[in-house]
Amino acid sequence: MSQTLIRNTRILAVDAAHGTTSFDGDLLISKGVITAIGSHLPAAPDALVIDGRDRLVMPGLVNAHTHSSETFFRGRYERMPLEIWLLYAYPLLMNDPIGERLLYLRSLLLAMESLRNGVTTLCDDFFDPPTHDLSRLETVFRAYDDAGIRANVSSAAMNVHTLDALPFAREVMPARLQALLDFGPPMTANAYVDYCKAAFASLHGRAGRVNFMIVPSAPQRCTPDLMAACMELAIARRVPFHTHVLETRTQAVTGHELHGKSLIAYMRDLGLLKRNTTIAHSVWASDEDMRLMGEAGVSVAHNAISNQKLGAGIAPLRRLLDAGVTLGLGTDGVSSNDTARVFDVMRVAGLVHCVSGPDYGKWVSADEILHMATLGGAKTAMLDHVTGSLEVGKSADLMILNLRSYPFMPLNDAAKHLVHAENGSSIETVMVAGRIVMQNGRLTTVDEDAVFAELAELVPAWLAEHAELERRNSIFEPAMAEIHRRAALAGLGINRYQGDLPFPAGLNDPALM
């Protein structure tokens, strides 16, 4: 069977102008690629024909930023700003890396949940200390290959000591605690480049769906030579330079404290603002930061739920768009969000920015949110030529939703239903590269019951070990809390904006920070 024809259906199109339209017609898929969209399309005698009556066909969603390393921490933490939460989700004092089987299963679980909820592409910056190991990277690639999802994958690189990447850290952390943080010689730029080249040679492009991306963790966590080497390689291989910038109030002052300028200006001076640059978060970007980002063609992965759970703030979405920045939507990890559902992120992003001010004409529309979740997200992943929209010549990464369901009854405007009413419950079928990976509420590539049973058997003991690790790392919490407090106070002296809420210089309300 080389063809699939979805006949007599409602098709939702997403275009580059941030618009969406829906129309009735047929969609023909040949060898995993959309080959025709129209009416009364002919198909081969052996084609799989799907009756699309009372159904909506739309592009698969793109999770522009996530961390599979958090998958086992769902429902574990709350009421922690990022700098404190990191102590427990990404401990300074570490045990041995998670075992190979659990590494595979936690990646597989994220892919499974993603596919069931219409995510056909994800960008996974997984954390796997203490070294970058090609065989362990292959384990993650294999999980995504087995699940049938499309993915950009990497393990974050950093080579600046934690205490040198945080403002005030050397001042507030007692010497006896600093002495515990001996991580050995930092990774060199050459060592990381060698690892990346090996990953490109042996893993990149696996199954035509799973790719390697370059992930320097953050500009304050990497030396300039490492970041320059990362950018050079990202451009040469046409993959994202995926990093974290200006996520929290602490990071809002980090650039000024460490470099005398914002982190975005610091990146500009190092030549790190490019089309390849994808920034996760960008909550605390100033108008000048956004101007620089827009002029350089930078992308941002907006993590609306994670930013709220960690108290990071509300990203300046409208002003980012107006500055010409490409926007995608990310869940972040399944600890700072507690779900891999991009539909949830769409709804929150579609609502939270309505508090951006009285000019309701500038509130973000459902069409814009849907664009971020599909074609915009694909562009942040540098995969917009492959996926993100239903166009002839693109991969058949799509989902089919039942319009005879509560979220669509009665049907008014498909985009508004998808953003404000749908939660994934109406999805019947999901395809990646034309292959049906979820049908009638069940994955076709994975035995879900068997995976759940194995997780129930293996994960509790690992979580018990992690609980002991949390106890050991709790000794650093007072220092991290003081860094958080000092950064909040220092932030009052910076002429900046909090999310979409403008404040005159010196009048920033700390209650809203």
Domains defined along the chain, listed by start: 69-365 (3.20.20.140)
Tell me the pLDDT band of 491, cut-offs 50, 70 and 90.
confident
What average pLDDT does range 270-296 have in this prediction? 98
What does residue 34 show for φ and ψ, rounded to 5 degrees? -70, 120
Determine contact, residues 334/70, Cβ cutoff 8 Å.
yes
Could you give the CA distance from residue 131 to residue 44 in angstroms, rounded to a whole number?
Answer: 51
Give the pLDDT of residue 130: 73
What average pLDDT does range 34-61 have in this prediction? 97
> The tokens of 421 are what?
């009413």
> The tokens of 513 are what?
């920070």
Could you give the CA distance from residue 239 to residue 390 in angstroms, rounded to a whole number?
Answer: 22
Tell me the pLDDT band of 494, cut-offs 50, 70 and 90.
low
Could you give the CA distance from residue 227 to residue 334 in angstroms, rounded to a whole number?
Answer: 27
**Count of other CB atoms within 10 angstroms of residue 452:** 12
pLDDT reading at 166 higher than 70: yes
Binning the chain into helix, strand and coil, the percentages to the nearest 5 are 40, 20, 40
Query: pLDDT tens for residues 428-475?
Result: 999 999 999 999 989 999 999 999 999 999 999 999 999 999 999 999
Query: pLDDT tens for residues 97-154?
Result: 999 999 999 999 999 999 999 999 999 999 987 789 999 999 999 999 999 999 999 9
Could you give the CA distance from residue 235 to residue 251 in angstroms, rounded to a whole number?
Answer: 26
Tell me, what amino acid is at 108?
L
Give the pLDDT of residue 493: 58
pLDDT reading at 490 higher than 90: no
Q: What is the length of the chain?
A: 513
pLDDT reading at 206 higher than 50: yes
What average pLDDT does range 2-9 have in this prediction? 96
Give the pLDDT of residue 500: 45
Query: pLDDT tens for residues 25-40?
Result: 999 999 999 999 999 9
Could you give the CA distance from residue 292 to residue 301 in angstroms, rounded to a whole number?
Answer: 17
Identify the three-state secondary structure at position 410.
coil
**CA nearest to 251, candidates 173, 313, 297, 181:** 313
**b/e 251-260 (16+ beta carbons within 10 angstroms → b):** bbbbbbebee
Task: Give the containing element (helix H, strand E) for 476.
Answer: none
Give the pLDDT of residue 15: 84
Give the pLDDT of residue 356: 77
Query: pLDDT tens for residues 347-380?
Result: 999 999 998 778 899 999 999 999 999 999 999 9
Q: What is the mean pLDDT of the chain?
A: 94
pLDDT above 70 coverage of the chain, percent: 95
Give the pLDDT of residue 358: 85
Rg of the chain taking only CA atoms, in angstroms? 22
Tell me, what amino acid is at 214?
I
Tell me the pLDDT band of 268, cut-offs 50, 70 and 90.
very high
pLDDT reading at 497 higher than 60: no
pLDDT above 90 coverage of the chain, percent: 91
Does the bond joining 407 to the residue before it have cis omega, within 30 degrees of 0?
Answer: no
Give the pLDDT of residue 411: 96
Strands 241-245 and 277-281: parallel
Could you give the CA distance from residue 129 to residue 110 in angstroms, rounded to a whole number?
Answer: 19
Identify the three-state secondary structure at position 475.
helix
Give the pLDDT of residue 1: 60
